[in-house]
Chain A
Amino acid sequence: MLAYLSRRLLFVVPTLFFVSLLIFTLQQLLPGDPAQVMAGEDQRPEVIEYLRAKYHLDQPFPIRYLYWIGGVLQGDLGESIRIGRPVRDLVLEKLPVTAQLAVMAFLIALLIGIPAGIVSAVKNNTVWDYAANAVALWGLSTPNFWLGILLILLFSVELGWLPASGYVPPGEDLAANLEAMILPAFVLGNAIAAVMMRHTRSAMIQVLGQDYVRTARAKGLGERVVIVKHALRNALVPVVTLGALEFGQLLSGAVLTEQVFTIPGFGKLIVDAVFNRDYAVVQGVVLFTATAYITLNLLADIAYFLVNPRLRS
């Protein structure tokens, strides 16, 4: 176990190094000159020159990378050229927002995906199976920005039940916060419910074929008891651990969902930064999320390892 863990930890370093190189290269390759973008409408040559020098944009590629990574290693993610604030502050400001969105979305995905997966496994190849499939798949099959706009039109414009967009910190007003977050969380959760369903379904099918379930059935226990008490409990473990891996996917989905609902989280920060060529922000945020993703992966792996005695040998 310890050997396995340390091996995994050892891999984190080169992986992160590659992430930093990848995102830096990709950013720097983007067409257009960030100094020019930042110089605004007026495009004064002296302002452009000044910005180039200030943000080391006049240096060759490897030097710029060293400037950046040097800062990162000292905990300095650089500064947003666009709004003149440290990227670290921006990350800390957005982290709770996206984290809340992700957790809520994850719960919604479980709420849809697990029952759908159970039904699909137990009532395999019946109308129930198809209905469960349809419920889980429809979220995956709709572009989530699109679903978002439709829900806004329905719930805030037509029905007036929920705010159209805008974010309220939970500390300020929890009810308003939940009202603002429920639609985006639903849209986002919907998109990964199908994955949860697939995991649940295959785990259930596997568990239902196991000896102890057969034994329980043979004992004459009701089908409901067998499924809930015996099968589900064992099937859930891999579902939740595998589900943790979907957090990365959530962030991807958050990119557009946050855009539509104007939720000031990572997704919105990063997309706007790509289009504004706000290098330090894109690099900083991607590096941070990648680190978070790798950490989550590692934790999920360890958890999976711990609950799966067979793997330990």
Chain B
Amino acid sequence: MRSVRVLALAGLVALVSSAAAAQHLRIGLAEDPDILDPTLARTFVGRIVFSSLCDKLIDITPDLKIVPQLATGYTISEDGKTVTMKLRQGVTFHDGEPFNAAAAKYSLERHLNMPGSNRRGEIAAISSIETPDDYTIEIHLGSTFAPLLSQLTDRAGMMVSPKAAEALGDKFGTHPVCAGPFKFVERVAQDRIVVERFEQYWDRKNVHLEKITYMPIPDATVRLANLRSGSLDLIERVLPSDFVELKKDPRFKTSAVTELGYQGLTINIANGPGAQQNPLAKDKRIREALELSLDRDAINQVVFEGLFQPGNQWVSPESPWYQKSLPIPKRDVAKAKKLLQEAGMPNPVVDYMVPNDTQSQQVAQVIQAMAKEAGFDLRIRATEFASSLKLAQQGEFDLYQLAWSGRTDPDGNLYNFVGCKGPPALNSSKFCDEEVEKELVAERTAISEAERMKHFEAVARKTLSERPIIYLYHRKWLKAHTTKLTGLVDYPDGLIRVVGLKLQ
């Protein structure tokens, strides 16, 4: 078998090297992106494609510092209510239209005003935008809003060609025209998205690839098979079990970076009639007992080969926003049992809603077995993703296993989930606490990071003991690529930035 493999490999090498000469990068995605309009888009995987198509006003570094992209610099007024951005000159959109203050204003206003915009909520704090000159914009805020800059490093900061956006309207996503290093060529739904190098890109000298094909291949085994057989150069979301093997394979390079998001258990505390029957809602000691019955390290070892990052907050222990004074609690079954006794409910029966994919279910079965030792009877109810949204919103669950892909600013992982004004499908616990609410508002309007950190700590103290959500772990973005690809830098947002990538 080995010799056959080597022979086949030799053939493949010949094939692949001819592809490499063409600087054509083929990326395997775990899902099919949704609509390719930065204003309307909503999926994580879509953001991967946008990072080659659409440049943003500002970007982040791997350690989450803000750096210029289409804006060359920014200043914030003392009252924190005005952000002034200087724009890069000589930038053109893919259709040849110039990028300037008017285009930037247009793009931001499109995000704000277009019906059905998914960006509006992210930058709703913007009250008006002015263009004092052709390459300066002033963003005025109704009140200070600390997460604003972070929002502009993502889709809300993506600039679109006003001409194309006007012409295509809500069909812009079928042929996006932005100012990124690559321009849109074609999309075959569920098959591929092809982009090619944009020769007038402002940073053209650092763009080495000529063409990128994104191929959505949902089955992780098949995605990996494509990498191994040479039909793909880079794949994202490798399974932890495969990752361990790939690490040993000299033909491939791997990378792992902790996500910005989290995986956790949402507890229905006050959402609808479901909360009244929920034993976990009756007494916070029962919630504490549930957390104490869990061994996060063991979950990580059993399901994820120890590759992921256990956690107990909405940001990972590696984040600068992590509250070190509130570390991950150790498993304590005896104490959990005692708490259940004290609460007068030694064997609570809990309805446990879990997405119906095999990995979530493996996690659920481990949790079920752990909680059982403390006396819990968790009844796993597998639910399709599409159904679970509505059930979560209506509170038809006791315990809900949920993943959040994460935002650069920690507020994006928190406010909507434990804040009183969080959308019902996100704050499905219907947790609403006066003190927490006050701190959340303070955190958003604070200007300095140190000040925000204090408010976050207050939120953490309260929510980690009230437990509307038990945070469990943070995934790692596991990628693998052929050794021919160089220049890949890992970002905690999991995206693939294509400037600087090169095929040898």
A72-121 interface (Cβ within 8 A of B): 80, 82-85, 90, 93-94
C-alpha gap A37/B384 in the complex (Å): 11
New A-B pairs, 20, CB < 8 Å, besides A156-B229, A160-B5:
A32-B386, A32-B390, A33-B390, A36-B425, A37-B386, A38-B34, A40-B43, A42-B118, A43-B423, A93-B189, A152-B225, A156-B226, A156-B228, A157-B228, A160-B229, A165-B217, A166-B217, A259-B219, A264-B188, A275-B384
Which residues of B have CB within 8 Å of A269?
189-190
B83 in contact (CB, < 8 A): no
Which residues of B have CB within 8 Å of A159?
4-5, 8
C-alpha gap A93/B188 in the complex (Å): 8
Interchain CB contact under 8 A, B423 and A45:
yes
B11 in contact (CB, < 8 A): yes
Which residues of A have CB within 8 Å of B4?
158-159
Closest to B388 in A: A32
Shortest distance in angstroms between A52's beta carbon and chain B's nearest beta carbon? 10
B171 in contact (CB, < 8 A): yes
With A47-B116, A269-B190 already in contact, the answer to whether A160 and B12 are too (CB < 8 A) is: yes
A134-193 interface (Cβ within 8 A of B): 149, 152-153, 156-161, 163-167
Q: What 1/0 flags go to B355-389 for Cβ under 8 Å of A?
A: 00000000000000000000000000000111111
B170 in contact (CB, < 8 A): yes
Shortest distance in angstroms between A239's beta carbon and chain B's nearest beta carbon? 34
Q: Which residue of B8, B34, B174, B423 is within 8 Å of A44 (Cβ)?
A: B423
A291 in contact (CB, < 8 A): no
C-alpha gap A112/B174 in the complex (Å): 43
Interchain CB contact under 8 A, A84 and B389:
no
Interchain CB contact under 8 A, B390 and A43:
no
B215 in contact (CB, < 8 A): yes
B12-51 interface (Cβ within 8 A of A): 12, 32, 34-35, 37, 40-44
A50 in contact (CB, < 8 A): yes
Shortest distance in angstroms between A94's beta carbon and chain B's nearest beta carbon? 8
Interchain CB contact under 8 A, A161 and B8:
yes
Which residues of B have CB within 8 Å of A167?
191
Which residues of B have CB within 8 Å of A30?
386-387
Which residues of B have CB within 8 Å of A268?
190
Which residues of A have CB within 8 Å of B34?
38, 40, 82-83
Q: Which residue of B173, B188, B226, B386 is within 8 Å of A84 (Cβ)?
A: B173
Interchain CB contact under 8 A, A32 and B389:
yes
Shortest distance in angstroms between A168's beta carbon and chain B's nearest beta carbon? 10
Shortest distance in angstroms between A56's beta carbon and chain B's nearest beta carbon? 14
Interchain CB contact under 8 A, A84 and B120:
no
C-alpha gap A272/B215 in the complex (Å): 15
Interchain CB contact under 8 A, B35 and A83:
yes
With A36-B393, A93-B189, A165-B226 already in contact, the answer to whether A41 and B231 are too (CB < 8 A) is: no
A202 in contact (CB, < 8 A): no
B128 in contact (CB, < 8 A): no
Closest to A85 in B: B174
Interchain CB contact under 8 A, A156 and B225:
yes
Interchain CB contact under 8 A, B385 and A44:
no
Which residues of A have CB within 8 Å of B301?
none
A290 in contact (CB, < 8 A): no
Interchain CB contact under 8 A, B189 and A85:
yes
Q: Which residue of A39, A94, A158 is within 8 Å of B118 (Cβ)?
A: A39
Shortest distance in angstroms between A33's beta carbon and chain B's nearest beta carbon? 5
Shortest distance in angstroms between A149's beta carbon and chain B's nearest beta carbon? 6
A-B contacts, 28 of them at CB < 8 A, read A32-B389, A32-B390, A33-B390, A37-B389, A40-B42, A40-B118, A41-B43, A41-B44, A41-B405, A42-B423, A43-B425, A45-B423, A80-B189, A83-B173, A84-B170, A157-B225, A158-B1, A159-B8, A160-B5, A160-B12, A164-B225, A164-B229, A166-B215, A166-B231, A262-B222, A264-B188, A275-B385, A276-B386
With A38-B42, A84-B35 already in contact, the answer to whether A272 and B190 are too (CB < 8 A) is: yes
B401-454 interface (Cβ within 8 A of A): 404-405, 416, 423-426
C-alpha gap A106/B170 in the complex (Å): 41
C-alpha gap A261/B225 in the complex (Å): 11
Interchain CB contact under 8 A, A33 and B43:
no
Shortest distance in angstroms between B211's beta carbon and chain A's nearest beta carbon? 14
Which residues of A have CB within 8 Å of B41?
40
C-alpha gap A94/B191 in the complex (Å): 10
C-alpha gap A266/B386 in the complex (Å): 21
Interchain CB contact under 8 A, A163 and B226:
yes
Q: Which residue of B171, B190, B219, B229 is within 8 Å of A157 (Cβ)?
A: B229
B239 in contact (CB, < 8 A): no
With A44-B120, A84-B173, A159-B8 already in contact, the answer to whether A260 and B219 are too (CB < 8 A) is: yes
